[in-house]
Structures are given as structure tokens and as C-alpha cells.
Amino acid sequence: MIALGKIYHKNICGIDVSFFSDESEEYTEEILLRTNERIKSVINSSQIISPPRAAVVTCLELCDELEKEKIQTTELKEKLEELIKKLDRAVVDRAESETRAAMLKQEVLDLTIKLSNLRG
């Protein structure tokens, strides 16, 4: 099978890199731009840091962000599952309440008829 990607040869903060991506060119260029900006930001925040060290620091920052996002995603999934269970229970409770209300309505009607028969 033939791979449907592209090999890129780019320079990021003075470092030549080659890599393969099967993402769209627009997406890949956006990621390259954001990567370059992040590394430059690390370099600018510490004037003595080299681009390779800045790349490592940037990688650490991104891994930290990714792990925090994973934790948040897991927490949100758990909350969503709890809400779905509550909603399911509410739907069941509503159906049971409607059934009970219909039974009570019928009981009131039956009692009204019995009362009417007793009076008359």
C-alpha cells in the first residue's frame, strides 16, 4: 500500500528537521508555526538557552499540558457519565410518575362513580 503523506524538510529555530506527515499541508504548516513560536518563546524567556535545549524545554511543557488535558478529559467524561445516569434515572422516574398519575386519575374517576351511585 502506498503512503499518502508528505515528507517535509523544515528549519525550526535554526535546526533542520525532516519528517513525514499524512496530515493536510495547512494543518502541518500551522503546527510547524506554533512549534517555532513556542520554542522562540522559551529562547526569549531565557537569553542563554540554545535552540536544542529550548526544544527540550518546550517538549516538557507540551507533555505537561497534554497530561493535564488528559486528566481533565477523564474527569469530564466521568462527570458526563454521572449526568447521563441521572438523566436516565429521571426519565424512568418520570415514566413511573406518569403511570402512577394515570392510575390515581382512574382511581379518582372510579371513586367518583361509586360516590355518585351511592348518592343516587
7-65 pLDDT, tens digit per residue, is 999 999 889 999 999 999 999 999 999 999 999 999 999 877 899 999 999 999 999 99
Tell me, what's the pLDDT at 2? 60
Domain count, the chain: 1
Angle at 49 between CA 67 and CA 51, to 5 degrees: 75
Q: Which contacts qualify for 55-62: CB closer than 8 Å, 24 or more apart?
A: 55/12, 55/13, 55/15, 62/38
Q: Which residues form the domain of 93?
A: 6-119
Q: Provide mean pLDDT across the span 82-109.
A: 97
Check residue 3 and give its pLDDT.
Answer: 60
Q: Is residue 91 part of a domain?
A: yes
Q: Is residue 95's pLDDT more than 70?
A: yes
Q: What is the CA radius of gyration of the chain?
A: 32
Taking all residues of the chain, what is their mean pLDDT, rounded to a whole number? 94
DSSP state at residue 5? -
**Any domain includes 1:** no
Predicted confidence (pLDDT) at residue 1 exceeds the cutoff of 60: no
Q: Which residue has the higher pLDDT, 120 or 60?
A: 60
User: Does residue 28 sit within a domain?
Assistant: yes
